[in-house]
Amino acid sequence: ACRVSPTVDQALREICRRGDVRYLWVDQICINQRDNEEKKEQVLQMRHIYSDAYSVVAWLGPSFEGSEALFTHLRRMGNGVRNRDWDGLEMLHDDEEHLRGIRKAYDALCRRSYWKRLWILQEFATASHVSVMCGSAVIPHELLLAVQQSYIRLRDEVGERRNSGRDPLLEKLYANYSSPFRSFMDSVVTRRARFRAEGYEGDLFFQVLTTCLVLERDYNIPQTSDPRDRVFSLLYLAADVDKIKGIVDYSKTCAEVYCDTALALLKQGNVDVLAYSQFPKEIEGLPTWVPDWCMPVKNPCNQGPWYSKFSASGDSDEKQEVQEVSRGRLSIKGFSVDTVKKYGKVWDPDWEKPLDREAALAFIDDIKELCELSPRVRANEELLDAVRVATSDGAQYGEEDVSGQLIVNYIAEFIWAYDRLVKLVNPIGEDGNQQEDKTPSDNDWLVRAIHYLFSRRPFLTSTGYVGLGPSHMQEGDEVCIFYGGKTPYMVRPEQDGEEYSFVGETFLYGVMHGEALKGEVNSKTYILQ
């Protein structure tokens, strides 16, 4: 006899009832969860187990109210999207009474605990064929993917299909498939699509780890019962897994696993893994420079390093040398830029609520006051620089975008976006008349850029740099640049003055494109605790 969970019992009964299965592999049965050595060996083989299987069944649990009708609807919808049958999709979304049931059932589908389990990313991505099963209802992965991508695919074609006005089908797709839990399912389904895309050469572990675990637009955090599995479960989705040795080891503590992971990534040259070390940490005993993958780690304010156009360390010839001088103490090379002299209020908006635009204007005004104190900010440009700091200089812009002829359009875009925000907060002009309706929606880039910052404070340095940094900064904290990094970082000298605590990622206006290296630089080795 073998004890299994109710979930496994339900899955086995339903799959076997279909009568077309001879052999099944179930992780809960086939892996001794109490044996760390066996778990380690099985983790190393997991990718091959799923990829060699004839088919993988993603079992969502027993049926729920409306699930049969939903799966029928999703299969039709998926086929319509794949065939670009937009007229057929409009007919499928004509009956409002039917759609009310679909909306409710789709939300229930997104809430299923299966999508929240981090381990399923590997089984879903690497399998040769995946069927999603709920009770007796089944849908192939390919059709579910088409459903999840329907809004984007149609949006890309709207300009070709219609000449004017908003597309009513687009509105229906957005309204009916916008569950607050949708990102759980999206991350699983789209990871497989990316992993198996034609010509895909694979993501490096640093990118796999951060794109799977980091929050970008909501607070939906994938789950594991063992915090070490937040690393182990993703390792074999990476193209460079063979270059990362000794990470999977259940005899290590979680702090040791996270520390070894951060060190391995740093030694690969991924200096900006430090941007994911955020606070407050949940795992006890974790060094300040090590990301805690148990906490809700958020996307860096200066964007992920593979998207960022910043290059704070420029084209320096100085070679980075990262070493763990003793357990938990990191040696890393860089140079000091300045120290924090004054800072403003914390900006930490709730992502799940519409942006408080009055608070956003107050945030920009807070930065503007610091700009007015800075000798580095030219007269009459305080507002422009404040908006640039508030949005991390737009983040999407590179050095070439903010120089030469493009600077005129660049400045105009910032001021135009700011004016739109002001007109929404203050719709009545100084003359008492209604201002022209150019108000931003939540999709405008300025609103998005400010909305998705987190726990930031504006600050002024001793020599007049203005920037954004972690909310827990203190006066006297040092802003530095580590060689090989795209962004500056903030550290705090310990009492002995020889070692530092890591504080976090910063945006420092005027040094994001290597400007700090144009003068004399005194390199030093930082010991981070």
Model confidence over 39-56: pLDDT tens digits? 888 888 888 888 888 899
Amino acid 430: pLDDT: 56
Amino acid 412: pLDDT: 66
Distance CA 129, CA 53 (A): 8
- Strand order across the beta sheet in which 56-59 lies: 56-59, 130-134, 137-140
Tokens of 158: 């709207």
Q: How far apart are the first and last CA of the chain?
A: 51
Write down the residue that tokens 């599995």 correspond to.
Answer: 229
| Predicted confidence (pLDDT) per residue in 173-198, tens digit | 999 999 999 999 999 999 999 998 88
- Which of the four pLDDT bands, split at 50, 70 and 90, describes residue 406? very low
Q: Is the pLDDT of residue 520 over 90?
A: no
What is the pTM (predicted TM-score) of this model? Answer: 0.89
Counted residue by residue, the chain has a size of 529
- Which of the four pLDDT bands, split at 50, 70 and 90, describes residue 394? low
Q: What percentage of the chain exceeds 90 in pLDDT?
A: 64
| Predicted confidence (pLDDT) per residue in 464-489, tens digit | 999 999 999 999 999 999 999 999 99
Distance CA 236, CA 191 (A): 13
Amino acid 210: pLDDT: 96
Amino acid 512: pLDDT: 94
Q: Is the pLDDT of residue 320 over 80?
A: yes
For 281: left if phi > 0, alpha if psi spans -120 to 50, otherwise beta; the answer is beta
Distance CA 259, CA 351 (A): 29
390 contacts 369 by C-beta, under 8 angstroms: no
- Which of the four pLDDT bands, split at 50, 70 and 90, describes residue 8? confident
State mean pLDDT over 266-295.
97
State mean pLDDT over 491-509.
94
Amino acid 15: pLDDT: 84
Amino acid 433: pLDDT: 56
Q: Is the pLDDT of residue 30 over 90?
A: no
Q: Where are the domains of the chain?
A: 6-195, 205-302, 352-449
State mean pLDDT over 344-355.
93
Q: Is the pLDDT of residue 133 over 90?
A: yes
Which carries the bigger pLDDT value, residue 11 or residue 419? 11
State mean pLDDT over 77-87.
95
Q: What is the overall mean pLDDT for the chain?
A: 89
- Which of the four pLDDT bands, split at 50, 70 and 90, describes residue 112? very high
Q: Is the pLDDT of residue 402 over 70?
A: no
Q: For residue 445, which of 505, 362, 355 has the smallest C-alpha distance? A: 355
Cα R_g (the chain), whole angstroms: 26
Write down the residue that tokens 């100085």 correspond to.
Answer: 318
Amino acid 438: pLDDT: 44
| Predicted confidence (pLDDT) per residue in 407-456, tens digit | 455 566 676 777 777 876 776 555 555 444 444 454 467 778 888 899 99
